[in-house]
Amino acid sequence: PVFCSLSLRCLCDYNMLSRSTATLSPVDFHSPFLTCSSEQVLASTRKLHAGADGSKVSPSAAPERLPFCRVTEEDLAFFRKILAGRTIVDPDLVEPSNVDWLKSVRGSSEVLLRPQTTEEVSQILSYCNSRNLAVNPQGGNTGLVGGSVPVYDEIILSTSLMNKILNFDSISGVLTCQAGCVLENLSFYLEERDYIMPLDLGAKGSCQIGGNVATNAGGLRLLRYGSLHGTVLGLELVLADGQVLDCLSTLRKDNTGYDLKQLFIGSEGTLGVITAVSILCPRKPKSVNVVFLGCETFEQLLKTFQLCKSMLGEILSAFEFLDSECMRLLNTHLKLPNPISDCPFYIVIETSGSDPTHDAQKLHNFLEEAMTSSLVSDGTVATEEAKIKALWSLRERVTEALTHDGFTYKYDISLPVERIYQLVTDMRKHLGNRAKSVVGYGHVGDGNLHLNVTSPSKDPALLAAIEPFVYEWTASCRGSISAEHGLGLKKRNYIYYSKQSQAVALMGNIKAMLDPKGILNPYKTLPDNLKQ
Q: 282-335, pLDDT tens digit by residue?
A: 999 999 999 999 999 999 999 999 999 999 999 999 999 999 999 999 999 999
pLDDT at 48: 46
Average pLDDT, the chain: 89
Does residue 83 surpass a pLDDT of 60? Answer: yes
Does residue 9 surpass a pLDDT of 70? Answer: no
Say which amino acid occupies 118. T
Does residue 234 surpass a pLDDT of 50? Answer: yes
pLDDT: which is higher, 257 or 33? 257
CB 278 within 8 A of CB 248: yes
Ramachandran region, residue 194 (left: φ > 0; alpha: ψ -120 to 50; beta: rest): left
Burial 181-202 (b: 16+ CB within 10 A, else e): bbbbbbbebbeeeebbbbbbbb
Q: Does an H or E element contain 364, and which?
A: helix 356-372
End-to-end Cα spacing for the chain: 47
Does residue 445 surpass a pLDDT of 90? Answer: no
308 burial via Cβ count (<10 Å: 0-12, 13-18, 19+):
buried
Where residue 531 falls among pLDDT bands split at 50, 70, 90? low
pLDDT: which is higher, 212 or 202? 212
pLDDT at 56: 58
pLDDT at 59: 81
Concatenating the DSSP letter of every residue in 38-58 gives -HHHHHHHHHHTB-TTS-B--
pLDDT at 70: 97
Q: What's the mean pLDDT in 379-403?
A: 94
pLDDT digits (tens, 9 = 90+) for 19-66: 333 333 333 333 323 334 434 444 444 444 444 444 456 788 888 999
- With H, G, I as helix, E, B as strand and everything else as coil, classify residue 182: strand
CA angle 179, 62, 516 (to 5 degrees): 60
Q: How far is 269 from 205, CA to CA, in rounded Å? A: 21
- Cα distances (Å, whole numbers) of residue 117 to 120, 177, 220, 421: 5, 12, 31, 45
Residues with Cβ within 8 Å of residue 81, at least 6 apart in sequence: none
Q: How far is 189 from 67, CA to CA, in rounded Å? A: 44
Does residue 421 surpass a pLDDT of 60? Answer: yes
pLDDT: which is higher, 470 or 31? 470
Phi (first) and psi of residue 278, to 5 degrees = -115, 130
pTM of the model: 0.85
pLDDT at 102: 83
pLDDT at 7: 32
Say which amino acid occupies 357. T
pLDDT at 202: 82
Q: Which of 481, 502, 484, 477 is nearest to 493 (CA)?
A: 481
